[in-house]
Copies of this chain bind each other. A is one copy, B any other.
């Protein structure tokens, strides 16, 4: 008995021991512990298996490793702190302990690799929905797959896949939500570029509940995508977008483009109307919103 109590205490539960009365649970930690995540989770596949750690270099790396050993679809890899996380284009993405929610989902979508971008867009839609309904914060989507609030980054998404030329082997979608960071938790150079749900809503977010809602939302959208295709995902993505129908500057590897972000196509490419009236199709790049 005592050993179990010790284990629970190590995991952050606060338990009082009273002579003759026994033990009393007086505090549940704000931890993303598997038992907490499973409690009340309504999904069938996403997050039914959980790989939890207090600290990891990158939840995507763990998920890829688990995939290579045969882990099943829906595996959730979650960590309280991510020390070597990456964003797109090899950028760093650090998540301080107990403040962010950073997790990866393992999927085996039976499709051509060219459809992978649809799934990052689907992830953006599910995260934005979950955030809006759980916290009331109006997260919007910036092409291709960041979530912003008032122009500041609140979530990042990074999908990585292993594939043959004509079919995906496995796909890992890593998602990082800035949940309970305070100003000082962001590196100085990001303080005016990033924000957190706590900063935006004025109160701490129950991380377990938001993670559950994200998993539920993802599973719902993934089902829609599998059964009906990409159309309704794309329609919702467009509604939630904050980088369409506005002037933007896009930085690609070798140049910058100024233009009007007109729409995205079914491969997730951005169609940019250039000043000369022509339409430029961009499959990747970094958007800055421009002031006109």
How far, in Å, is A23 (CB) from chain B's closest CB? 46
Known A-B contacts A113-B114, A114-B114; A161 and B162 likewise in contact (beta carbons under 8 Å): yes
- Residues A158-208 near B (CB distance < 8 A): 158-167, 169
Query: Cβ of A160: which chain B residues have Cβ within 8 Å of it?
Result: 162-164, 169
- Whether B167 and A284, one on each chain, are in contact in the complex, defined by CB atoms closer than 8 angstroms, is yes
Query: Cβ of A165: which chain B residues have Cβ within 8 Å of it?
Result: 116-117, 120, 144, 159, 161, 268, 284
A167–B159 CA distance with the chains assembled, in angstroms = 11
Identical chains in the assembly: 2
> Of A144, A158, A166, which is in contact with the most chain B CB atoms at under 10 Å from its CB?
A166
Q: Which residue of B lies closest to A145 (CB)?
A: B165
- Determine the interface band of chain A, counting residues with CB < 8 A from chain B: 20 to 34
How far, in Å, is A76 (CB) from chain B's closest CB? 20
Query: Cβ of A120: which chain B residues have Cβ within 8 Å of it?
Result: 165
A144–B166 CA distance with the chains assembled, in angstroms = 10
How far, in Å, is A106 (CB) from chain B's closest CB? 14
A162–B88 CA distance with the chains assembled, in angstroms = 14
Query: Cβ of A266: which chain B residues have Cβ within 8 Å of it?
Result: none
Query: Cβ of A144: which chain B residues have Cβ within 8 Å of it?
Result: 165-166
How far, in Å, is A280 (CB) from chain B's closest CB? 16
A245 within 8 A of B: no
Mark contacts of A112-128 with chain B using CB atoms, 8 A cut-off: 1 yes-contact digit, 0 otherwise: 11101100100000000
* 22 sample A-B contacts, Cβ–Cβ < 8 Å, listed by A number: A88-B166, A112-B283, A113-B113, A113-B114, A113-B161, A113-B163, A114-B114, A116-B165, A117-B165, A120-B165, A144-B165, A144-B166, A158-B164, A159-B165, A160-B162, A161-B162, A161-B163, A161-B164, A161-B165, A163-B163, A166-B283, A167-B284
